[in-house]
Amino acid sequence: MAKKKKLKIAIQGIATSFHEVAALTYFNEPIETVECLSFHQLCESLKNGASDYAVMAIENSIAGSILPNYFLLQDYHFNIIGELYLPIHMNLLVLPGTKITDIKTIESHPMAIRQCSEFLHSLNGVEIRESDDTALSAKRVKELKLKNTAAIANEFAAKKYGLTILEKRIETHKKNFTRFLVLAKRSNGKIESNKASLCFEVANEVGSLADALMTFKTNSINLTKIQSIPIIGRPSEYSIHIDVEWKRRKNYDTAMQEIIRQVKNLNVLGEYKKAKIEYR
């Protein structure tokens, strides 16, 4: 019997990064991760066929939305086929034997740094340095033997690179999670959906956005997120990104028939199944 080919999943970062944990959790089967050090590289990997799917972080409960990724969703026209809420626990990793008083520099991904701002503000005389990835920061500490540098990353990175967890769970709020989107080049019509991500534009007139959003309310559609993105080259004009949920598909279909007459450039980024938020 032929061996089943592993799915190739593009992730931002390297092995043991939160993106890899998210990918392994979502697909729940042996996969091959395609490491990308930027979200642009991640999108290019999916576009060029180097990966079958991509897992992209879109927001964090402490640090907020990752705005550049909304522009990427618009530019690449990928289809959102799923989502995942991953609990995020940040740890301060160092070479064995390093003490807190030895640390001169702490480095990690910008979003990780923002999630740990309260802890980092409590330190004096420590330089905070941004990097491409949490796991990559841990790898640098190990390979370069950086005795005065700490990395902010997860426990899997600590184990892989033989680092000591000097401080556990340094995230500002303990109920911390990141929402990841699962992207494909085309829609999978087999997915049973109860959530959708949309984007559109409205006229720059009083009440135009309110009227559009009211359409969802009157059709019993729950609006779970709204994010405005500037339209490049058109000052004071925005693309509106929303996430909506429904209990009856018919309500969603009716709302979409109405909304298409109220807005401009309506784009359905994906219809998929709502994920659960489970704190650990």
Catalytic residues: 178, 180
- Coil, strand or helix: which one is 74? helix
**Rounded CA separation 56/69 (Å):** 8
What are the beta bridge partners of residue 239? 229
Closest CA to 152 of 135, 140, 164, 174: 135
Both tokens of residue 270?
Answer: 């994906």
Inter-CA distances, 119 with 107, 148, 245, 254, Å: 13, 18, 36, 48
Q: Using CA atoms, how far apart are residues 225 and 240, in angstroms rounded to an integer?
A: 10
Name residue, tokens 């929303």: 242
Collapsing DSSP states into helix, strand and coil, what is residue 113? helix
The CA radius of gyration of the chain, in Å to the nearest whole number, is 21
